[in-house]
Amino acid sequence: MSSRRSALALFALFPLALSGCGWRPLYADPEIGPAAAELRAIHVEPIAERLGQHLEWKLRQALNPDGIPTSERFSLRTVLAVTRASLGIQSQGLATRGTLDVRARIMLLDLKTGKKLLTNTIHTENAFDVLANGYATEVAEEDADRRTAAELSRQIVTRLALFMERRKRAAAKSGG
């Protein structure tokens, strides 16, 4: 029984030991990181098309998940380049698989100065089944849109969080 207690004590102290060495989880939620206030201050501009609406909603939710009112200091512009293609062509010329290839070009602007702070391009690809039933194909394509928006949102928020953390560190080092 004593060895079990010592094992539990070691397990309980393990996170403390990791935090002491400067270890931080790479994919932690950005809202609990040091850049959380900066991320909440980002205004997400409207994004065209249905996929863009999904992405816009995901970004707003990820950047300020608690809905804390924050004065906007930054603006995020996103332009999507979407390519849909048919794969797996049957001998009759009908597709059995479709792909959704999306490139998102993001630009983070400082609202006070209008200066570009960050530009980046993010790419993701998803696939869906093309079925004989047209409605089922529409549902599968809509699901691919939602998965693509979720993946793009994760990548964009991660890049924004890293940028904000580096910016805060640089400002702290320079004394401003």
> DSSP state, 68?
-
Q: How many residues does the chain have?
A: 176
Alpha carbons 37 and 12: distance in angstroms, whole number:
30
Token reading at 161: 């969080």
**Has residue 55 got a pLDDT over 60?**
yes
For domain 26-169, give its CATH number from 3.40.50.1980, 3.30.160.150, 3.40.718.10, 3.30.470.20: 3.30.160.150
Alpha carbons 79 and 102: distance in angstroms, whole number:
10
pLDDT tens, residue by residue, 12-41? 656 655 555 555 555 555 444 557 888 999
The residue ranking higher by pLDDT, 92 or 30, is 92
Positive or negative CA dihedral for 144, 147, 150, 152? Answer: negative
* pLDDT at residue 31, as a whole number: 44
Q: What is the pTM of this model?
A: 0.75
Q: What is the arithmetic mean of pLDDT over 50-58?
A: 95
Token reading at 170: 């640089």
Domain ranges for the chain? 26-169
pLDDT band at residue 60 under the 50/70/90 scheme: very high
**Has residue 9 got a pLDDT over 90?**
no
